[in-house]
Amino acid sequence: MARTGPLAGVRVVELAGIGPGPFAAMLLADLGADVVRVDRPGGPGLAVDPAHDVTNRNKRSVVLDLKSAEGPARVLDLVERADVLIEGFRPGVAERLGVGPEECRARNPRLVYGRMTGWGQQGPLAHTAGHDIAYIAVTGALGMIGSPGEPPAVPANLVGDYAGGSLYLVVGVLAALHHARATGTGQVVDAAIVDGTAHLTAMIHGMVAAGGWQDRRGANLLDGGCPFYGCYETSDGGYMAVGALEQQFYDTFVDLLGIADRAPARKDLARWGELREAVAARFRTRTRAEWTAVFEGTDACVAPVLSLREAPGHPHLAARGTFTEAGGITQPAPAPRFSATPTAVDGGPALPGAHTAEVARDWDLPALAPGDARPAKDA
């Protein structure tokens, strides 16, 4: 399978799961790696229609039953030819299935074995079930988000699963891959969502230590406590996002908003409540589209709050090609961008088992026995 991108030539085995593991594998595939997803018979459970699961784009799929007599051996055949393996089971499950780090690295000492969990491989909660919301709750990240006097606002599953989980797994895998190529020795990467999410709060912890951040919601410069860093409703029920933190941006903001003659000084905290009311009242006098036209192209640091369906049509994002369409699905384009090894969405979501023969040929594997693979009907 010919791929482009900076990871072209890197082979990845992904043991099918849900959430952060598949997203991490998608990112590696977007960067050009040849990712073979090992799907289980019947699918992973909590998943969208495979034909619409964008996190499986740019991948190939085989179906193997790890609970069958031959399933683990077939995975190890793939591992022997791979650079990276990604799994997201609870601690100990991969070992019980016969595809844990010892078995895999016995077949391939250079293998980078990436493990994606919420709580990590060790600790009192390691074997406990959980989801994104619980992981970000105990790290302090969830407690920072939302309005004072109200329950914390849930930021979808972006902060934990994908920022604290997937992205840290990818960083770890790439670092370990660099080490493996330099030394000939692979290693295990233990990527825990609690670790990654806690790491994301590093700057805030520094600000707390310096006395520049109060450990409560809605009382700080970047958490909605500041009247010139937040969201305001418009006359048509839309919202505008304001981030006019620096003095020059604040001056432009209050001028274009039309309150420069009565806006208090930016650092006059005693009048922040007054300023918030003035800003809110002014935004309610026009529609979101009207305010967008006022601030577009200026240094006021103001932008309309768009929905997921609206975002691809934003002029800047459209000009950059931030979103793309593949297989009839509008989706984010691969990121980041590379000058010498450009990336692309080369294939739609991999349907379970659709690439069994292709992978066996390209990876120089014996053909899978008929009982081991169940190609998708439309493969």
Q: Known catalytic residue: 179?
A: no
Active-site pick, 161, 195, 223, 372: 161
Provide the β-strand partners of residue 239. Answer: 233
b/e map 238-253, b = 16+ CB within 10 Å? bbbebbbeeeebbbbb
Active-site pick, 52, 131, 179, 314: 131
Q: Known catalytic residue: 131?
A: yes
- Residues involved in catalysis: 131, 161
